[in-house]
Amino acid sequence: MYGDIMNKQEKNLSENRKAYHEYFIEETYEAGLELVGTEVKSVKLGKANLKDSYAEIKNGELFIENMHISPYEQGNIFNRDPLRTRRVLMHKAEIRKLEALVSQKGYTLIPVALYQTRGLIKVRIALAKGKKLYDKREVMAKKVAQREVERSFKESYR
What is the pLDDT at residue 8? 60
Contact 88, 64 (CB under 8 A): yes
CA distance readout (Å), 48 to 16, 72, 104, 116, 124: 10, 11, 30, 13, 14
Sign of the C-alpha dihedral, residues 118, 123, 126, 131?
positive
pLDDT of residue 158: 65
pLDDT digits (tens, 9 = 90+) for 109-151: 899 988 888 888 889 999 888 877 777 788 888 888 888 888 8
Strand 23-33 relative to strand 86-89: parallel, antiparallel, unpaired?
A: antiparallel
Is 2.40.280.10 the CATH classification of the domain at 2-131?
yes
Domain locations along the chain: 2-131
β 86-89/48-49 pair status: unpaired
Asked if 38 and 66 touch (Cβ cutoff 8 Å), the reply is no
Q: What is the pTM of this model?
A: 0.72
Between residues 111 and 83, the one the model is more confident about: 111
- Structure confidence by residue, pLDDT tens digits, 7-33: 567 777 788 888 887 888 888 888 888
**pLDDT, the chain, mean:** 81
Of the two residues 105 and 4, the one the predictor is more confident about is 105
pLDDT > 90 in the chain, percent: 2
Cα distance from N-terminal residue to C-terminal residue, the chain: 38
Q: What is the pLDDT of residue 6?
A: 47
pLDDT value of residue 7: 55
Report how far residue 146's alpha carbon sits from residue 153's, in angstroms, rounded to the nearest whole number.
11
